[in-house]
């Protein structure tokens, strides 16, 4: 009977049950102790990062690249925050930071970014942002579109989207790294492979044009319609002119023969960036990710404009002249107007040549789109060349430095005798006199008088106000 009681009633202790001991202890801790525990964990993490050799190498690389590119302290600070996994980035989309409304583009955080090659993380974030923009504009075609970016010129490695993911799901870490033959070098963070047949078209262009870094294949209804026309894309608007000369290629399906790759290289040419594939959309290229998206954007708008005008008849369309097309094309490749930066004190204004080196084709437009994504909470990881908000707000200038009540008259010390002798009016109307009124005609003068009502009066200093009439 005693054993039964011991089984039913376990011995009581002064502590807590073992299964809930840790949770209950944390609930019973005071707030200041919890804060200290969190601070200790944060310091351990910071100490681990700071003592890492990879962290020091990455920090040196970021500083060196920022000094070369001239991105400014804001861009440098943002890169360092992204590298250590800091979530303190201030932008309009910070309210979405902990929500699940969107999948963040920059999912490479903290020490994980150390495993990528130099500049790879930035390129991954840019390319993943292009997928989100394509999705937001409605230019996707399920899982079948391909966008590639050249990662390494020496090793011929490329980044491509995983085959099977929708564009709104693509993140920086999910991009797959492949070689020129389409073999997977690094699979990314997903279980998906790549569309080997679709990549061969990109491989043919990358192989023929080493200057091209990014390729976007697009086949929206309007682009497909124009690619199926015998006349091709007509110069009916500015968007059709800024993309330059357009190539045509009779696309026969997935590329498998070397002869087909040679045809693609010949039809694209040495300088063209846009090539229409018969009944299969268009391939838009660029020496940068920004330029490739610039060409896609203008190609889609040009095709939509032409499709809307086609019911009127080709004979009724007014086409741009060769001179106008050349002028629009050259203007799109010059430094953007109205972007002069105020020089610091003692420095000369920045020249147009320097601004041309800073902004590549489509760079300013792409940065504005990155702000749009960040404001919506996508967390692009983009390094802004020109932050939207200045680091220090401008100091307001006050025209009135000294209020009138403080000093209404300025005079020289050697003329003080004029006040004592009462010759002020004469000096006031003298044009050669160096004294002038500042804000009012009142003069404050110290006068010594004797006390009244006492047998032994003392001298008292009083301030009298002398008011002058301008008519005198």
Determine the pLDDT at residue 60: 77
**Tokens standing for 456?**
């032994």
pLDDT, average across residues 95-118:
69
**Tokens standing for 357?**
């080196």
Q: For residue 2, give Cα distances in angstroms to 12, 257, 298.
A: 16, 89, 89
DSSP per-residue string spanning 28-77? HS-HHHHHHHHHHHHHHHHHHHHT-HHHHHHHHHHHHHHHHHT-HHHHHH
pLDDT, average across residues 50-74:
69
Q: 10 Å Cβ neighbour count for 309? A: 16
CB 84 within 8 A of CB 62: no
Assign 71 a pLDDT band (cuts: 50, 70, 90). low
Q: Tell me: pLDDT of 427 over 60.
A: no
Determine the pLDDT at residue 255: 78
Assign 40 a pLDDT band (cuts: 50, 70, 90). confident
Alpha helices (runs of H) in 85-185, residue ranges in sequence order: 120-137
pLDDT, average across residues 175-199:
91
Burial readout 246-274 (b: 16 or more C-beta within 10 A, e: otherwise) = bbebebeeebeeeebbebbbebbeeeebb
Give φ, ψ of 216 to 5 degrees: -125, 120
Virtual CA dihedral for 374, 375, 377, 383, nearest 10 degrees?
20
pLDDT, average across residues 71-98:
46
Q: What is the pTM of this model?
A: 0.62
Which helix H or strand E contains 266, and what residues bound it?
helix 258-268
Q: 469 — alpha (psi -120 to 50), left (phi > 0) or beta? A: beta
User: Lowest-pLDDT range, 186-200, 306-320, 338-352?
Assistant: 338-352
pLDDT, average across residues 162-169:
92
User: Lowest-pLDDT range, 25-34, 192-201, 396-405?
Assistant: 396-405
Q: How far apart are CA 182 and CA 189, in angstroms?
A: 18
**Tokens standing for 386?**
């020109």
What mean pLDDT is reported for the chain? 76
Q: Which one, of 109, 158, 95, 103, lies nearest residue 135 by Cα? A: 103
Most confident region among 303-317, 396-410, 441-455 by mean pLDDT: 303-317
Pick 442 or 352 by higher pLDDT: 442
pLDDT in tens, 302-335: 999 999 999 999 889 999 999 999 999 998 887 6
Looking at residue 146, the DSSP 8-state letter turns out to be: -
Assign 215 a pLDDT band (cuts: 50, 70, 90). very high
The proportion of the chain whose per-residue pLDDT surpasses 70, expressed as a percent, equals 66
């Amino acid at each position: 009977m005693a054993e039964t009681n011991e089984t039913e009633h376990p011995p009581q202790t002064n502590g807590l049950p073992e299964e809930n001991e840790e949770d209950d202890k944390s609930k019973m801790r005071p707030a200041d102790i919890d804060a200290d525990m969190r601070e200790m964990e944060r310091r351990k993490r910071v100490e681990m990062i700071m003592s890492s050799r990879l962290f020091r190498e990455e920090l040196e690389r970021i500083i060196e690249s920022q000094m070369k590119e001239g991105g400014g302290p804001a861009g440098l600070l943002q890169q360092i925050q992204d590298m250590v996994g800091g979530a303190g980035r201030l932008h309009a989309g910070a309210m979405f930071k902990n929500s699940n409304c969107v999948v963040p583009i920059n999912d490479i955080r903290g020490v994980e970014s150390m495993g990528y090659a130099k500049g790879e993380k930035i390129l991954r974030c840019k390319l993943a942002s292009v997928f989100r923009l394509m999705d937001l504009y409605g230019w996707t075609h399920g899982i079948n579109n391909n966008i590639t970016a050249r990662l390494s010129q020496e090793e011929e490695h490329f980044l491509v989207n995983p085959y099977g993911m929708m564009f709104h799901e693509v993140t920086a870490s999910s991009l797959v790294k492949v070689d020129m033959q389409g073999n997977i070098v690094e699979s990314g963070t997903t279980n998906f492979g790549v569309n080997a047949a679709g990549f061969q078209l990109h491989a043919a262009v990358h192989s023929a044009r080493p200057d091209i870094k990014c390729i976007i294949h697009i086949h929206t209804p309007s682009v497909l319609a124009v690619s199926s026309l015998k006349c091709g894309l007509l110069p009916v608007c500015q968007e059709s002119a800024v993309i330059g000369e357009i190539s045509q290629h009779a696309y026969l399906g997935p590329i498998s023969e070397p002869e087909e790759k040679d045809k693609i290289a010949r039809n694209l040419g040495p300088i063209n960036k846009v090539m229409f594939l018969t009944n299969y959309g268009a391939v838009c290229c660029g020496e940068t990710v920004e330029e490739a998206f610039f060409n896609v954007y203008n190609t889609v708008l040009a095709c939509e404009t032409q499709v809307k005008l086609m019911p009127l008849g080709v004979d009724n369309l007014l086409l741009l002249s060769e001179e106008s097309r050349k002028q629009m094309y050259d203007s799109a490749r010059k430094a953007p107007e109205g972007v002069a930066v105020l020089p610091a004190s003692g420095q000369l204004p920045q020249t147009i040549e320097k601004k041309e080196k800073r902004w590549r084709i489509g760079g300013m437009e792409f940065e504005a789109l990155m702000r749009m994504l960040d404001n919506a909470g996508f967390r692009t990881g983009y390094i802004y060349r020109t932050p939207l908000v200045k680091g220090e707000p401008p100091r307001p200038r006050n025209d009135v430095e000294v209020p009138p009540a403080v000093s209404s008259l300025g005079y020289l010390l050697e003329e003080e005798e004029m006040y004592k002798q009462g010759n002020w009016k004469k000096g006031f109307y003298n044009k050669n006199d160096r004294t002038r009124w500042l804000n009012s005609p009142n003069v404050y003068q110290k006068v010594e008088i004797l006390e009244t009502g006492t047998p032994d009066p003392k001298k008292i200093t009083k301030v009298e106000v002398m008011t002058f009439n301008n008519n005198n």
